[in-house]
Chains A and B, each alone.
Chain A
Amino acid sequence: MRVRIWGARGSIPAPGPDTARYGGNTSCVQVTLSDGNMLVLDAGSGIRDLGPSCGQAEKINILLTHLHLDHIQGLLFFAPFFRPDVEIVIWGPPAPGRSLRDRIARYLSAPLSPVEIRSLPAKVSFRKCPADEWEIGSARIRAAHVNHRGPTLGFRITEADASLCYLPDHEPALGMPLDHVEPDWISGFALAERCSLLMHDCQYADDEYPERVGWGHSRVSDALLFARRTEAEHVLLFHHDPLHTDGQLDLLLGRADEDWEGLGGSPGALAMAVEGAELELRATE
């Protein structure tokens, strides 16, 4: 499968010269399967740039981890919604009360939006992610609720022996000592276990975290510890804080590299997610 990052920023888009290298668009990742099927992980502002690249795709699956604004704010600006010949399936987290469609319609309706869901030309449907693994094209998808504010999913996408784990908004260390708690008690562990690539929340520097405990995001050291415990093969630190400039992210990565080595991580297996980056995940031995 091929993975392309269209947005790696958290909370709110952060455009400008200080964020140009890592990118300012909020969460959106395109996954192209070997059979040609396309999955889109989250619909942050990055999805706007993805739109023109979709060509004449007849069916697109959008998998939303949760409905916080930075993960859905690009929906209305995704060009395929305005093509009548395309089928778009939006998958999202099950939650008590209102349906997924109704919850998203709170954003895509007046007074917040000039266009409503029913006016979109595309054939749009909404589905709750099932509790059991399911298939889209040649991929098997597994979703699980993870620790973040509000109903939030993480995803594991497996094709042949290659697997991508996507946990953009995740605070597994909240009240849980990651270094010694049993694996089945760690939020997201099963999704990430021995995956080929883990994309994980790294929103806060360690010295910023104490003021933000419980906000649903990880400090870098917890993201690294989580990655080591789950034995993820490669790690992309994701969901950059909007206040973190390129220079600050460089510094964070420098420190993270040292910590990663200290934890016994493989050299070169850790990187910061960069908007526009493209990776090919291949089957591991």
Chain B
Amino acid sequence: MAIATEQKPIELILARSLLDALSTPGCLIDLEGGTLVYYNEAVGKLAGMSFEETGPMPVTEWTDTFGPFDDEGRRIPFDEHPLTVAVRGGRAGHFIQRFRTRDSTDFEVAVSAIPLVGTTGFQGALVFFWPAGAE
């Protein structure tokens, strides 16, 4: 019998398990394909949607709605974002970013991204969102 399913890399499966166990908002991004592969319930609460409903989506679908935006309110293209550049270069990154809610309210969030590198190479980025300027 032929195999129809292609298993996700084990690093992503384990990372998704971790995200599901955390109350910190976090997601997994396939930087090569530009896909938001998974986001946890805490991100879903912030964004007002759930992974069960949306499934994976192109990162641009996310960024078109929520940002990030620069200080002048312009959308930062995914490929030019400093976090994308850092992680593609094999480095972690941490930036404070401005996002926008569905009702057009801007807010700042600290974003940390780390590259996931397995035995078969680069598998994507694990991204966490933290309250910016929390005391």
Q: Is the CB of B1 within 8 A of A184?
A: no
A174-B17, A176-B17, A194-B1 known; A96-B119 Cβ under 8 A: yes
A128 and chain B: residue at smallest CB distance? B119
A94 to B5, CA, bound (A): 22
B52 and chain A: residue at smallest CB distance? A180
Give the dominant DSSP class at B's interface: loop
Nearest-CB distance from A239 to chain B (Å)? 19
A146-B10, A185-B13 known; A175-B18 Cβ under 8 A: yes
Q: Mark B34-51, 1 if CB is under 8 A from A, else 0.
A: 000010000000000000
Q: Is the CB of B1 within 8 A of A147?
A: no
Q: Is the CB of A144 within 8 A of B10?
A: yes
Q: Which residues on A sit within 8 Å (CB–CB) of B1?
A: 161, 163, 193-196, 284
Nearest-CB distance from B39 to chain A (Å)? 13
A3 sits at the interface (CB 8 A): no
Q: Which residues on A sit within 8 Å (CB–CB) of B13?
A: 147, 176, 185-187
Q: Mark A127-146, 1 if CB is under 8 A from B, else 0.
A: 00001000000000010111
Q: Mark A86-120, 1 if CB is under 8 A from B, else 0.
A: 00000001111000000000000000000000000
Q: What is the interface of chain A, defined by CB distance below 8 A to chain B?
A: 93-96, 131, 142, 144-147, 151, 156, 161, 163, 174-176, 182-191, 193-196, 284
21 contacts between A and B (CB under 8 A): A93-B119, A94-B119, A94-B120, A96-B119, A145-B10, A145-B119, A147-B10, A147-B14, A156-B3, A176-B13, A176-B17, A184-B7, A185-B16, A185-B38, A186-B7, A187-B10, A189-B7, A190-B3, A193-B1, A193-B3, A193-B4
